[in-house]
Structure 1
């Protein structure tokens, strides 16, 4: 069967459901779900992704379900604003209704050639502390659920989760579902709303994936299977070994022995693939995934505890001559040159992360880099940190002094700004950002804070240059830039302006991933999962 040959005519709903479960977090569920979305979509099937509950501070702005049902046409270009398509400000249909979902489901929707929307991730938990998360239900923050004990939420939210999944099934040929953590977390089984309860609800045909690079893969697979009740074991249709390095022939006879114990075949052994190009689930990257070559510029991203939306830096990994690294101590910034960048990314707890930054001594290191004329970029929470003060009258985030690199003040408000944004930089940018002058860029905003010029400092003549009204400010020297616009470094026009580089589009990434699973799964397995 060729990549474009339809499996069968497209007559949407009720969809067949393929579910990707994992033996652990980080096993490869999100990656494999994304690859399967594109694999099935390019066979002429109408596909939607689904994850009942995601825990991540990487979120994207999407449309409300009543305005853009799953599978509706994409904007021109078929991709999101950061990877090669245009997007108007606001979005979300006539009334502009918008919400948040996890970034993983956003990318999965694009891989499925569907419009990302809130039903694809009805429950999003955004950690604000080790024991506390903001709860986003159907795209909107719920104060009631946020205050509710963890175990008390499941029955409260299950009806909305089930309704969202049922609606996607009615409108599509295939729904590719991602689980969370492990389905064998027996302490959570009774209150499960994301793994086997979802699988049972739709009779999903499940793949169980494990990270063989960590070791113990066959024990993980067998132990997970063994801890499931008999009716749930019956839903497991195949085991997948992910991130394998070496000669696959050396695995024998373990796959056959595992099948004899469980009745479940090992249907794929996926070789390690560092540079697939998809943003990692939690924005994590390492040196093994950085493009090879002579390093001409370093971009150091401050990795504070509640970092958010780090997936937006994925395109930088593919810029020739650019090294992308985490900075967790002053030593990580010690070797930077003035032409290198320091980035303060988004944060789910700006005041707390700013306190952490100071405790590490990174405040002085960032200031020293800026003082040498080095480039400093603050995005969203990072912009707020660059200012003079954080003011929190409603107890949203926290009060505190800023880093003082921009004469701005941020006031946190209970209402959250969630929107798509398109804007054009005027011919006013200076320093390392001068290439952006006159460039139209697209992205998104997710923030409680509202930022403005510090009035007392303005009275003394210390004024920030507002290079995008209400969105971006620059210091007079030109080397410090703060902006609310997430996605700037995903926008092809911005990348070209800043680095003179084009990076792979998401379309090419999705196609490569679909080719990869088609090549490494046993013949006929993926098609059989969606057969009637």
Structure 2
């Protein structure tokens, strides 16, 4: 293989499986994996995403009825296939600073502290390898995303997320680093330096991500890097302004939005254990909406209580920061309030956790704005749903979404449900005055028709059309186009077919 910068380098093959590892978290692993899935699919290959172990509170429900990390669901979308549990065989959903719910093969097996989980890891590696081998037998290519940093030497024992997995299945690794953070050469050379020789040999090249400007300005540094490490720089990926690819887990103030044409302000409490914040992507990208995630209350037209991985603890957090009083005042002045999943449970009279499903066993008073009581149970409800929205006397409005929850809610408030599902069930509750709405369904803003129906309920008349599904696919293609211009896919993955022309 010849590097981009002219120095002859060793040839490698990634006939089936190629793994992408990073020098840091958020170096660009998910984005590059997504782009490669899209590029190979556009060239006519059958390609599957894979992440051995994921730690994230953003998750998705698969076609085979399990739960995986959101990033792998997005990568499946990029590959043009349905998400399935084998794409992410182990998912960790933090419930506290010390413990996480452990999901294996799409199903929760319990909550574990770190030391307990480490004891399970040798057996879990077998689960991971079996899932990968099934995909490798079925697909032309498997694009694997590592987790965190490849240089986390304190986690090397029984590692199954990065080099431990690569060693187990004997696959090549690309190392990606984010130049926008600064120190990119130190990140790459330093990562190599802390790896054992056998792991270091697996790294077949580097990708530098998020470069602003003319890549020619990097030439001297890239030539030094290749000479110093003996490995090629496979490409320099550009900074893509305002690129939207659904986030795996992190949420920053950059996720807030304000559009000049905004006519509705949405406020979302930034709960410590907020889950599935991708629920709000369609809202914050909508040209008629400004959206803000807040630690402390701020005025707005619509307050949405989001999902939570520890509902009672996050409810305590809300009260401690004055949200209960602020929401009462908001309602008195005619505002609207919505709760999704855990936020829906908070809107009821009581939350009961007799078995300590989300923490210490006990009960908590809810906010009391919907007439319902929720009991948390160990069996998690995982469903993709379709149906119709009943708001505004429009039962023909189509609906899609998914359920991920451990609660069962009962009460007279459920008589005024708002979603009729295709399996005959009903979901949600609406207050007598029509200004408070709750639902267990995630992803209900993603479909254009349902989004418009809910925005009309919130007070936004005749919202501008916005098709989020089409938008995110266009953004995936924008990312894939940039990667295709920056990397030689034919050299990177021998056997990759040339791009298919329309």
1:295 deviates by 2.4
Q: Helix, strand or coil: the match of 1:191?
A: coil
| Of 341, 347, 351, the match for 1:380 | 341
1:525 deviates by 4.1
Cα deviation digits, residues 108-143 of structure 1 (max 9, x gap): 111112221111100000101110000000011113
Aligned to 2:416: 465
Once residues 154 and 338 of structure 2 are traced to their aligned partners in structure 1, the CA distance between those partners, rounded to angstroms, is 43
1:285 deviates by 5.2
Q: Helix, strand or coil: the match of 1:157?
A: helix
Is residue 495 of structure 1 aligned with residue 465 of structure 2? no
1:509 deviates by 2.6
Once residues 310 and 327 of structure 1 are traced to their aligned partners in structure 2, the CA distance between those partners, rounded to angstroms, is 13
Mean Cα displacement is larger for which, 26-35 or 124-133? 26-35
Cα deviation digits, residues 71-123 of structure 1 (max 9, x gap): xxxxxxxxxxxxxxxxxxxxxxxxxxx11111111111111122211111000
Cα deviation digits, residues 184-217 of structure 1 (max 9, x gap): 1111112200111222233323221112111111
1:293 deviates by 3.0
| 8 A contact 2:384–2:402 mirrored in 1 | yes
Is residue 447 of structure 1 aligned with residue 405 of structure 2? yes
Aligned to 2:318: 357
Once residues 110 and 37 of structure 1 are traced to their aligned partners in structure 2, the CA distance between those partners, rounded to angstroms, is 9
1:396 deviates by 1.6
Mean Cα displacement is larger for which, 243-252 or 356-365? 243-252
| Of 144, 148, 152, the match for 1:177 | 144
| Of 250, 253, 266, the match for 2:220 | 253
Q: Helix, strand or coil: the match of 1:246?
A: coil
What is the Cα-based RMSD across aligned positions, in Å? 2.3
Question: Aligned in 2, Cα 1:18/1:52: closer, same or farther, shift over 3 Å?
Answer: same
Superposition pairs of residues 46-445 of structure 1, within 5 angstroms? 46-64=46-64, 98-143=65-110, 149-282=116-249, 284=251, 286-287=253-254, 290=257, 292-330=259-297, 333-334=298-299, 336=300, 340-397=301-358, 398-426=362-390, 429=391, 434=392, 438-445=396-403
Once residues 489 and 123 of structure 2 are traced to their aligned partners in structure 1, the CA distance between those partners, rounded to angstroms, is 42
Q: Helix, strand or coil: the match of 2:345?
A: helix
Once residues 146 and 349 of structure 2 are traced to their aligned partners in structure 1, the CA distance between those partners, rounded to angstroms, is 43
| 8 A contact 2:489–2:496 mirrored in 1 | no
Question: Aligned in 2, Cα 1:328/1:62: closer, same or farther, shift over 3 Å?
Answer: same
Aligned to 2:483: 517
Where structure 1 has 5 or more consecutive residues not aligned to the other structure, the ranges are 1-13, 65-97
Question: Aligned in 2, Cα 1:473/1:306: closer, same or farther, shift over 3 Å?
Answer: same
Mean Cα displacement is larger for which, 316-325 or 36-45? 316-325
| TM-score of the superposed pair, with normalisation by structure 2 | 0.87
Question: Aligned in 2, Cα 1:268/1:363: closer, same or farther, shift over 3 Å?
Answer: farther
Cα deviation digits, residues 37-72 of structure 1 (max 9, x gap): 1111111111001000000111111133xxxxxxxx
Cα deviation digits, residues 412-468 of structure 1 (max 9, x gap): 122211111122223xx3xxxx486541201111111111225xxx8xxxx862223
1:501 deviates by 1.9
1:291 deviates by 7.1
Give the 4+ runs in structure 1 shifted more than 6 A.
144-148
| 8 A contact 1:344–1:383 mirrored in 2 | yes
Where structure 2 has 5 or more consecutive residues not aligned to the other structure, the ranges are 1-13, 420-424, 456-462, 498-502
1:492 deviates by 2.2
Once residues 150 and 158 of structure 1 are traced to their aligned partners in structure 2, the CA distance between those partners, rounded to angstroms, is 12
Q: Helix, strand or coil: the match of 1:45?
A: coil
Once residues 16 and 290 of structure 1 are traced to their aligned partners in structure 2, the CA distance between those partners, rounded to angstroms, is 40
| 8 A contact 2:256–2:291 mirrored in 1 | no
1:244 deviates by 2.0
